[in-house]
Amino acid sequence: MNQIGGARQWIVDHCTTDLLLFTDGDCEVPNNWVSQLLKAYIKLRDQDLTGGVCGPNRLPENSVWQKSINLFMDSSLGHGFSPQAYKPNRPVRTDHLPTTNALFSVSALKETEGFKSDWMVGEDVQMGRQLRDRGYALWLLPSPIVFNDCAEHFDGWILRMRKFGSARWLHSPWTSWPLFLGGLLLASVLAYLLGPWAFLAGILLLLSFEVLIRTLKSWMERKTPASPFSIKGAAYLYGLFTLRSYFLGWIQQGFYFLRRP
């Protein structure tokens, strides 16, 4: 199968156990991965109707950019309270279980319509919505942490973030549409009120920012930050580039939907 959603659903359909754990082929799990998830699930299922539990993910720290992204994901701006990156101090409710690091109740999964068979990105978000609609609680744990070697180079990471931004429309089109159309309306109003020269100045400012951020990124890749301060600076530089790519994918997908007949 070349669609991850269909592959995961095939496993669910043929599963004969009460619980099912998911990770990815490019992930490294800790030795006590199963026991940590299992203990937390057993404890939490007594408190609520629990559909599953998950832990956060990080990149392996083999390079400066990976260390920087991990540091950025420790900040509120970096994790955005997404279960992919957020590391809470205690178990907290979440909206979905990232399938790189999750334990599911099989009976809960089989109550749903299943993972989307044709989805390559975001099948876990769609499953999370189905489980919550059926009254199941989903929990994010402080640990275990899984190291996801999902990109060999920073450019691969950027492409991945752009795909996630594009996939946001599949996850929640009812929130993406108002934000996208509202942004277009605001840009149009500002262009009308400020005039074409102000609009052109805004475009030039964005282009200047793009040149600056690429120059800084190129300079940072030639250096090896040695101090915590320089690593922290690199974290926000790489993080800014990550957010820029995510929203670029989101905006690109928005214009795609506008062009559809």
Q: Which domain holds residue 96?
A: 4-148
Q: What is the pLDDT at residue 138?
A: 96
Q: What is the pLDDT of residues 203-261, one digit of tens each?
A: 676 666 666 666 666 665 555 554 544 666 677 777 777 777 777 776 767 766 666 55
CB count in 10 Å sphere of residue 85: 19
Query: Residue range 165-192: average pLDDT?
Result: 64
Indicate if the pLDDT at residue 86 is higher than 60: yes
Indicate if the pLDDT at residue 61 is higher than 50: yes
Q: In which residue are the tokens 């549409």 written?
A: 177
Q: What is the pLDDT at residue 40?
A: 95
Q: What is the pLDDT at residue 218?
A: 65
Q: What is the pLDDT of residues 100-124, one digit of tens each?
A: 999 999 999 999 999 887 766 778 8
Q: Are residues 59 and 132 in the same domain?
A: yes
Q: What is the pLDDT of residues 127-173, one digit of tens each?
A: 999 999 999 999 999 999 999 998 888 888 888 888 877 776 666 65
| Residue that terminates a domain, selected from 148, 171, 189 | 148
Q: Are residues 133 and 9 in the same domain?
A: yes
Q: Are residues 242 and 179 in the same domain?
A: yes
Query: Residue range 171-191: average pLDDT?
Result: 62
Name the burial class of residue 52, with classes exposed (0-12), middle (13-18) and buried (19+) by CB atoms within 10 angstroms of its CB: buried
pLDDT tier for residue 2 given thresholds of 50, 70 and 90: low
Q: What is the pLDDT at residue 195?
A: 67
Q: Are residues 109 and 194 in the same domain?
A: no
| CA atoms of 42 and 225, how far apart (whole Å) | 43
| Residue that terminates a domain, selected from 126, 148, 170 | 148
Q: Are residues 137 and 161 in the same domain?
A: no
Q: Which two tokens stand for residue 212?
A: 């600056």
Q: What is the pLDDT at residue 171?
A: 61
| Residue that terminates a domain, selected from 123, 148, 173 | 148
Q: Are residues 144 and 214 in the same domain?
A: no
CATH code, domain with 98: 3.90.550.10
Q: What is the 3-state secondary structure (H, E, C) of the chain?
A: CCCHHHHHHHHHHHCCCCEEEECCCCEECCCCHHHHHHHHHHHHHCCCCEEEEECCEECCCCCHHHHHHHHHHCCHHHHCCCCCCCCCCCCEECCCCCCCCEEEEHHHHHHCCCCCCCCCCCHHHHHHHHHHHCCCEEEECCCCCEEECCCCCHHHHHHHHHHHHHHHHHHCHHHHHHHHHHHHHHHHHHHHHHCHHHHHHHHHHHHHHHHHHHHHHHHHHCCCCCCHHHHHHHHHHHHHHHHHHHHHHHHHHHHHHHHCC
For the chain, what is the domain count? 2
Q: What is the pLDDT at residue 1?
A: 41
